[in-house]
């Protein structure tokens, strides 16, 4: 019989990639979703049955943060993460053979705006503000009840780079439309991770029973925003490019319904614990990651 992996919120960018890779590796993959063609959040019995004896539960569910932070959106961003996590906790508690491992997504945004030094899991400082509070509440909901038979790992994930989803489409559009220079000062640090490394980290954590708690899922080679934009321009080769000062970004963000924090916050996050545990990144540098994404290798 195939070993089971359950992915909650698995219909999105990261979840679909993980589903494909785990299926290729011979696993049975089941998704929990709001969509009625999958196991739905309203069917507690099916969720529990799916979790029985699973190798791993991976929870990615949450409304996208790429929207205006109105009061309504803020409530949904927070609630969709905390409530799904609590619901999974109840289901895990009811299993007679609970999943061996539960990986919950978290975010590298939990750390403060950092231009002075990198943030790791032990010396990093937690920030303030709405998105940090969401991350804190998400991790608290995840860790507040012990699960003696289920190992828990929260992945503080940096911006995920991969083909056909996430931030690559908006960044590519920006460069093609002539806004391929830096955003704001360009000196904010851009921590990122290739989507294949997200999968490889999960495989690594599955194979290392001593790993638990919080881990930064970020490549060891973060770059300045201006370096990232230059690396994109080298691949897209726009005829012209302009930088976007902060006032223009504020205006643009309002027009397209997003928040400037997504590009202006300096997220300088390094994967200290994963590297100490011996994890080897397939894509340690932004050039290697973009070469794969733009199909140059």
Ligand X SMILES: NC(=O)c1ccc[n+]([C@@H]2O[C@H](COP(=O)([O-])OP(=O)(O)OC[C@H]3O[C@@H](n4cnc5c(N)ncnc54)[C@H](OP(=O)(O)O)[C@@H]3O)[C@@H](O)[C@H]2O)c1
Applying CB under 6 A, the residues found at the interface with ligand X are 9, 11-15, 33-35, 60-64, 76, 80, 84, 105, 107, 157, 159-160, 166
Closest approach, Cβ 162 to ligand X, in A, equals: 9
Nearest alpha carbon to residue 76 among 15, 31, 34: 34
List CB contacts of 148: < 8 A, sequence separation 6 or more: none
Closest to ligand X by CB, 33 vs 226, is 33
Closest to ligand X by CB, 80 vs 188, is 80
Torsion of CA 207, 212, 213, 217, to 10 degrees: -20
Q: Distance (Å, rounded) from C-alpha 60 to C-alpha 220?
A: 23
Closest approach, Cβ 1 to ligand X, in A, equals: 26
Closest approach, Cβ 34 to ligand X, in A, equals: 3
Closest approach, Cβ 239 to ligand X, in A, equals: 29
Closest to ligand X by CB, 135 vs 179, is 135
Instruction: Specify whether the CB–CB gap between 131 and 65 falls below 8 A.
Output: yes
| Helix, strand, coil abundance in the chain, percent, nearest 5 | 40, 20, 40
Q: Distance (Å, rounded) from C-alpha 250 to C-alpha 259?
A: 8
Closest to ligand X by CB, 54 vs 218, is 218
């Amino acid at each position: 019989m195939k070993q089971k992996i359950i992915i909650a919120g698995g219909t999105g960018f990261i979840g679909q990639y993980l589903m494909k890779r785990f299926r290729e590796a011979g696993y049975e993959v089941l998704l929990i979703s709001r969509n009625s063609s999958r196991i739905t959040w309203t069917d507690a019995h099916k969720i529990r049955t799916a979790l029985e004896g699973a190798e791993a539960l991976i929870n990615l569910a949450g409304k996208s943060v790429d929207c205006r932070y109105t009061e309504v959106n803020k409530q949904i961003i927070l609630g969709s993460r905390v409530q799904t996590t609590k619901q999974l906790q109840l289901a895990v508690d009811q299993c007679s053979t609970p999943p061996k491992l539960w990986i919950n997504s978290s975010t590298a945004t939990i750390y403060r705006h950092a231009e002075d030094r990198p943030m790791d899991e032990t010396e990093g400082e937690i920030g303030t503000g709405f998105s940090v509070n969401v991350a804190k509440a998400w991790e608290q909901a995840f860790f507040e009840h012990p699960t003696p038979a289920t190992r828990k790992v929260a992945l503080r994930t940096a911006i995920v780079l991969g083909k056909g989803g996430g931030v690559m489409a908006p960044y590519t559009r920006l460069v093609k439309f002539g806004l391929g220079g830096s955003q704001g000062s360009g000196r904010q640090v851009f921590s990122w991770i290739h989507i294949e490394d997200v999968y490889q980290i999960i495989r690594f954590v599955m194979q290392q029973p001593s790993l638990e708690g919080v881990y930064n899922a970020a490549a060891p080679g973060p770059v300045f925003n201006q370096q990232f934009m230059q690396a994109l321009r080298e691949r897209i080769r726009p005829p012209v490019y302009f930088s976007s000062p902060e006032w223009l970004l504020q205006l643009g963000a309002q027009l397209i319904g997003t928040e400037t924090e997504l590009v202006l916050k300096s997220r300088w996050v390094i994967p200290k614990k994963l590297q100490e545990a011996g994890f080897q990144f397939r894509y340690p540098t932004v050039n290697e990651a973009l070469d794969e994404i733009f199909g140059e290798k």
